[in-house]
Amino acid sequence: MKKNPVSMLITFMVVLAGVLIFVAPLWIMVMNSFKPLNEIIAFPLRFPDEWSFDNYVKAWEEVNIPNIMKNTAIVSFSAVCGVIILATMTAYWAERHPTVYSRIFSSAILLSMLIPFATIMIPLVQVMKFLHLNNTIPGAVLAYWGIGLAFAFFMIRSGVKTLPYELEEAARIDGCGVIQVFVRIVFPLLSPVVFSVFVMDMFWVWNDFMIPLVLLNNQKLSTVQLAINRLFGMYNSRWDIALPALTMSMLPIIVIFILLQKKIVGGVMAGAVKG
Amino acid sequence: MLWGNLLFLGPSTLVFLAVVVIPFAISIIYSFSNWNGISNEIKFVGLNNFNNIFSGKAKFLDAFWFTLRITAVTVLLINLLGILLAVALTARLPLRNPFRAAFYLPQTMGGLILGFIWQFIFIAGFPAIGDKLNLGFFTQQWLGTEKTAFAALVIVNVWQNAGYVMVIMIAALSGISSELIESAKVDGSRPLNTFLRIKLPLCVPYITVSLFWTISSALKMFETNVSLTKGGPYGSTTSMALNIYNDAFANNKYGLATAEALVFFVIILAITSVQLYMSKRKESQIL
């Protein structure tokens, strides 16, 4: 559509103003994270006189950034890999070998998308205690496997539906067993949808607060979200520690988002279209 | 094929049973008890917990009312802003892609972190802006009164989620065939008319998705309540999920909390199915 340049310019200015307003909170946070506390409180909108990393050193030690990043990475990676393996196996088998059980199980998984975590979290703690997994990383990971299954299953099943059956048949004739067909043929063919589920679920688990809050009540095992929450509980208005901690906790997310922007947005759209 | 079923469906069945099915079943049983979460004694009290919920003795109804109000306001604003952004950013603007990324950015971060960032903005940033521009609007105690705390939560949630609707609506708008728009133009349709009569109706399936997602995530609101207002002042911004969490883990009312959690589930189920049903009907009317 052609538009006249004046209305284009006005649209551009309005959108630019919107972008500035949208980014301002993040910018104010980053800017203040380099200032001493008295300057933060007195002049929160002013540029720092000098950019000092003192706050960052303090926050790094206070929050134990390497430890919480490591915990969060371990939890996220194991959670998402497990979810994907379980969901791919289930979706593939249920699609190729429909039985009464696989139909019931598929609908149960999809229905579980409607169950909010708050509904099952209280007894889930009991189950984890029974399995001796309460307040352990494997326990939290197990919870993610069960809760993340629905969305991953939903996405991957639509991928399985588009797979040509002839390929699997040909492989079977050439002497591949069921497992080999799955590992060598099906899984690689599903890699585009698997990758977008991987990225979306990584963001979900990395940012999730409720599951670790309920199932990882152990300071040594703190994830990023838990550590930030604890920090704000301990020091009220110590912005000189809180702001650099917040900035550091966001950094990995922002870097990955910038690198994988197209994939992430594409994945969101794919998820929406299938809904 | 029995071993194939076992191999491919067995592991996911076990995980699903342990994490979803069994806890859900247990929560139904607990909801009829007065267990406090610690003692070995569990007494079954019939429908007592549900009576307390619906008579307003427990605070769940207040949390429900708050969640309903904030859902209505945020869903409306998120979708309006998201659609506006999508319309603006499907025009051929310079810097279009970085702009889209900027609006989507808050969506990539956790609600807890965003809430804490905004705590700083409301406590330190807004008063400073207010002083500079001499606007009383900004210098209020944003997190201190019931009305402004509600508004603060609306601001943060709209800021966080508008980018999601924008992405969906960009997909919708760019999927419309340009021939259709051209022919409408030839027939003398003005841009606004084309948008309202042709583009928007074609986007209804996508609007359905956006509404479904924004409604269900607003009803489950938890993180921003924890980090921004802690449910206050005077419990006025306690969402349903936060109320359940507090009753279970802070007030040691396990039985009551599981009953509330079940009611919560039924509410979400009811609202989302009504919404899905109505949008599907609307879709079939238009298409």
Residue A258's domain spans which residues?
54-268
DSSP letter at A180 equals H
Among chain A residues, the shortest Cα distance to B276 is held by A275
Q: Which stretches of chain B drop beneath a pLDDT of 50?
A: none
State the Cα–Cα distance between residues A99 and B276, nearest whole angstrom. 28
Residue at A179 is within a domain? yes
Instruction: Say whether residue B13 is in contact with chain A using an 8 A CB cutoff.
Output: yes
Instruction: Say whether residue A111 is in contact with chain B using an 8 A CB cutoff.
Output: no
Q: Do A229 and B22 touch (CB under 8 A)?
A: no
pLDDT at B186: 84
Q: Which two tokens stand for residue B121?
A: 């903005």
- Across the A:B interface, residue pairs with CB atoms under 8 Å apart total 252
Q: Do A207 and B11 touch (CB under 8 A)?
A: no
Residue at A187 is within a domain? yes
Instruction: Say whether residue B168 is in contact with chain A using an 8 A CB cutoff.
Output: yes
B22-56 burial, b at 16+ Cβ within 10 Å, e below that, comes to bbbebbeebbbbbbebeeeeeeebeebbbebbeee
Kindly report the nearest CA distance between residue B137 and chain A, in angstroms.
Answer: 17
Burial of B5 (0-12, 13-18, 19+ CB in 10 A): middle
pLDDT at B77: 97
pLDDT digits (tens, 9 = 90+) for B249-264: 888 888 899 999 999 9
Burial of A81 (0-12, 13-18, 19+ CB in 10 A): middle
Question: Torsions phi, psi of B33, nearest 5?
Answer: -120, 170
Q: Do B159 and A25 touch (CB under 8 A)?
A: yes
Among chain B residues, the shortest Cα distance to A88 is held by B8
Residue at A85 is within a domain? yes
- What CATH number has the domain bearing residue A168? 1.10.3720.10
B residues 255-274 near A, CB within 8 Å? 257-258, 261-262, 264-265, 268-269, 272
Residue at A173 is within a domain? yes
pLDDT digits (tens, 9 = 90+) for B54-80: 887 888 999 999 999 999 999 999 999
Cα B19 to chain centroid distance, Å, stands at 23
pLDDT at A1: 46
Among chain A residues, the shortest Cα distance to B266 is held by A115
pLDDT digits (tens, 9 = 90+) for B196-235: 888 888 888 888 889 988 998 999 999 999 999 888 788 8
- What is the tally of structural domains in chain A? 1
Q: In this complex, which of B19, B24, B167 lies closest to A265 when CB atoms are compared?
A: B167
Residue at A139 is within a domain? yes
pLDDT at A274: 59
Instruction: Say whether residue A109 is in contact with chain B using an 8 A CB cutoff.
Output: yes
Residue at A148 is within a domain? yes
Q: Which stretches of chain A drop beneath a pLDDT of 70?
A: 1-3, 272-275
Instruction: Say whether residue A44 is in contact with chain B using an 8 A CB cutoff.
Output: yes
Instruction: Say whether residue A268 is in contact with chain B using an 8 A CB cutoff.
Output: yes
Secondary structure in 3-state letters for chain B:
CHHHHHHHHHHHHHHHHHHHHHHHHHHHHHCCECCCCCCCCCCECCCHHHHHHHCCCCCHHHHHHHHHHHHHHHHHHHHHHHHHHHHHHHCCCCCHHHHHHHHHHHHHCCHHHHHHHHHHHHHHHHHHHHHHHCCHHHHCCCCCCHHHHHHHHHHHHHHHHHHHHHHHHHHHHHCCCHHHHHHHHHCCCCHHHHHHHHHHHHCHHHHHHHHHHHHHHHHCCCHHHHHHHCCCCCCCCCCHHHHHHHHHHHCCCHHHHHHHHHHHHHHHHHHHHHHHHHHHHHHHHHC
Residue at A102 is within a domain? yes
Q: In this complex, which of A203, A213, A257 lies closest to B105 when CB atoms are compared?
A: A257
Q: Do A86 and B12 touch (CB under 8 A)?
A: yes
Q: In this complex, which of B102, B210, B241 lies closest to A22 when CB atoms are compared?
A: B102
Angstrom distances, CA of residue A229 to CA of A182, A273, B92, B276? 43, 35, 42, 35
pLDDT at A227: 92
Residue at A105 is within a domain? yes
Q: Is the dihedral of CA B35, B40, B41, B45 positive or negative?
A: positive
Q: Do A86 and B99 touch (CB under 8 A)?
A: no
